């Protein structure tokens, strides 16, 4: 169910046509957008593709959200000061429970057609892209701030495709309930601009290889993945614009 006053609209991030239809419907009804939260994701499913031929995690978690954000750029800028909040993950980094190495973005094989498909690293790459998008967006949108975050390990159906051992360990350690799992999202969505760092990554506790990041931080001053840089964020943005073009 949705809260009082909320309006639901159909959107399938794994299909660009659906993203375009949603944006068109939204813009036909509303002339203001104060905050866009890119929250949806798929996590470690069997190898498959979106309707448009992209690897499912990359196409849904990154490209679908990216196209939606571009389509809403004008209304976000018109509504300035506005903001975009993007749910990333601890899996954007080397993570004891998920990614065995620091995720990267391999533009030469973005859809895992040449390499053996590693669903953990594919998920990590899509979440790394979320973080980099939030870094670069303030340079591309006028009057719009952006933040990425790891919400913590939350009781949801997102982990349904994970193998049993890590799922059991996470449950033994204690998963956050939905309310607490929303806290970091609320912080990035509702705090005053002066209390946030534009483009930064915010995190609940995470099982990071880097122990200094394990307790979380709002924001995490130095995200522990050497792939992350201003140059990488710019390269991803330029690639993504082409990838989602009609």
Catalytic residue numbers, as ranges: 123
Give the pairing of strands 35-38 and 144-150. unpaired
> Which residues contact residue 115 at a Cβ distance below 8 angstroms, ignoring those fewer than 6 apart?
106, 109
Q: How far apart are CA 204 and CA 123, in angstroms?
A: 19
Nearest of 188, 184, 187, 57 to residue 129 by alpha carbon: 57
> Which residues contact residue 75 at a Cβ distance below 8 angstroms, ignoring those fewer than 6 apart?
27, 30, 31, 32, 33
């Amino acid at each position: 169910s949705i809260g009082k006053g909320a309006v639901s609209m159909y959107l399938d991030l794994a299909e660009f046509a659906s993203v375009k239809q949603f944006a068109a419907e939204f813009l036909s009804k509303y002339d203001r957008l104060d905050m866009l939260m890119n929250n949806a994701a798929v996590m470690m499913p069997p190898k498959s593709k979106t309707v448009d031929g992209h690897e499912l995690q990359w196409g849904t978690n990154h490209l679908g959200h990216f196209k939606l954000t571009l389509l809403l750029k004008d209304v976000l800028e018109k509504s300035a000061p506005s903001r975009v909040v993007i749910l990333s993950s601890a899996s954007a980094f080397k993570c004891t429970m998920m990614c065995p190495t620091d995720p990267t973005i391999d533009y030469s094989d973005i859809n895992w057609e040449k390499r053996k498909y590693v669903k953990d690293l594919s998920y990590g790459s899509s979440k790394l892209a979320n973080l980099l998008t939030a870094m670069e967006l303030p340079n591309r949108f006028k009057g719009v701030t952006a933040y990425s975050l790891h919400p913590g390990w939350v009781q949801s159906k997102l982990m349904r495709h994970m193998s049993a051992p890590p799922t059991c360990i996470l449950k033994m350690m204690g998963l956050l309930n939905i309310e607490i799992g929303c806290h970091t999202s609320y912080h990035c969505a509702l705090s005053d601009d002066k209390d946030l760092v534009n483009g930064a990554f915010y995190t609940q506790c995470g099982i990071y290889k880097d122990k200094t990041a394990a307790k979380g931080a709002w924001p995490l001053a130095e995200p522990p993945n050497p792939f992350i840089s201003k140059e990488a964020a710019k390269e991803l943005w330029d690639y993504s614009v082409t990838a989602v073009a009609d």
